[in-house]
Chain A
C-alpha cells in the first residue's frame, strides 16, 4: 500500500513539467560548477605535486561540488515537496486517500518515499559527474561514497520537513516558502556567534550543514547519521499527527 502511494507520487512528479525543468536546470548549473572546479584543480595541480600529503582531486573537485549540491537542494526541495499535501487539499483529492483502507502513516510515508526516490534519482544523475573523473584519474571512493550518503540523508530530512510544511496549508506557495525558511534557518543556525560555549555547541549540533560537512570530509559518524534520521522521523511523525488532528478538527 505504501509502495502504491509512493510510486504514484513519484510518477506524478514526472507528469508535470516542474520535475523535468528542475532536473534540467540542476544539471546545467552543477555541470558548470563541476567544470570550473576541474579547471581550478588543473591550475593548482603543478604546485600540489610538490607538496607532501596535498589534497587530492576528491577534496578539490568532489567535496565542494557536493557541498553546493546540498545548498542547491535547499532551494529546490521546497518546490518539489510543496505539492504533496497542499495540492491534494486544494483539489479535494485527499478524501480519496482518507476513505481508502490505508492508514495515515501509510499515506505520509508513501508520499515521503515517492519524493525521496525522486531526490535520489537527481542525486544519481549528479553523482555521474564525479564518477566520470575515473576516466582520467582515480578518486577516493570512500570519500565520494560518504559524501553521497550524507547528501542522501540530508535530502531525506529536506523531504520530511517539506512534507510536514505541506500538511499545514492549502497553498502550495506558502508551503514552499515556509519550508524554505525552516531549511535555511536550520542551515545557518550555527552562524550565530554567541560567546556562550554550550549554546554555540547546541546550535552547531542543530545545523544541517555541519553534519553534512563531516560526511564530505569522509567521516562516517553515527552521530551525524542519527541526527538526520531523527530529524526525518520527527517531521514525518509531526505530519502524521497533523493529518490525524485535521480529521478531528475538520
Chain B
C-alpha cells in the first residue's frame, strides 16, 4: 500500500505544479453536490447526500430512553456510522473500524457543539424518560470526503426530522407532533494537504496521496468542530486560512439545506 500512496502523492504534486487536479477542479472547488430530502419514510428523518461519486444516506430515529446519570434532565443524541460492505471493496462486515468511529464522533461533535439539537428540550416533563435522537450514517459509496457528505446528510435529515407523538411514556408510531426543533446548522469543510497545497473536497484517489487532512465544521457565526488527521503538522496561519474558507464555503453548503 505504501508504494501506491507514494505514487499518488507524486502524481498530486505534479498535477498541482500545473495548477490542476486529476478531475480538472480548482483547489477550492467542490465536486457536484446533491441533497435528497426525506428519501425514507419509516425513519423520523432522512437524507441522501451525494458528493461526486460519494453517497451517504442518513436515517434518524427518535425513541424514548433513560437519560445519562450525569445529565438526568437532558435528551440523548447518539451518532453512528456504518461503513456498509456494499459501499466499497475496502469495507468489510463486522464491528465498526476506527475510521467509522472517528467519522461518527466528528459528525456528532459538529451537531452537539452547534447546539443544533436542544437536548434539555428533549426531556419529558414529569417523566424519568427522555427523548433520544439516533443519527445513523450509511456509507453507500465511498469516493472520498466522507466527513462533509456525512455532516450534510445528518444535518439535512435532522432539519427535516419529524417528532413522533409521545403519550404516557410511549411513542405512538406513525403519528407525529410537529418537527424536531433545530438551532444553528453546522456544515463541514474538509481540506486535504499535499506539500504546501490545500485541496477542498479530496476524492478517495487524492486522499491516498495526502500528507494530512483538516476538517472544520462551522455554523454561520462559530467554528464548532475540528479534526486534524494524518501525520502532517499545520501552522497557525494554515488553520486560520481554513477557518476563513470554511465560513465562506460553509454558507454555500448550508444553502442546500432548507430549514422550515
The answer to whether A and B come from one shared complex is no
Q: Contact residues of B with A, CB < 8 Å?
A: none
Q: Contact residues of A with B, CB < 8 Å?
A: none
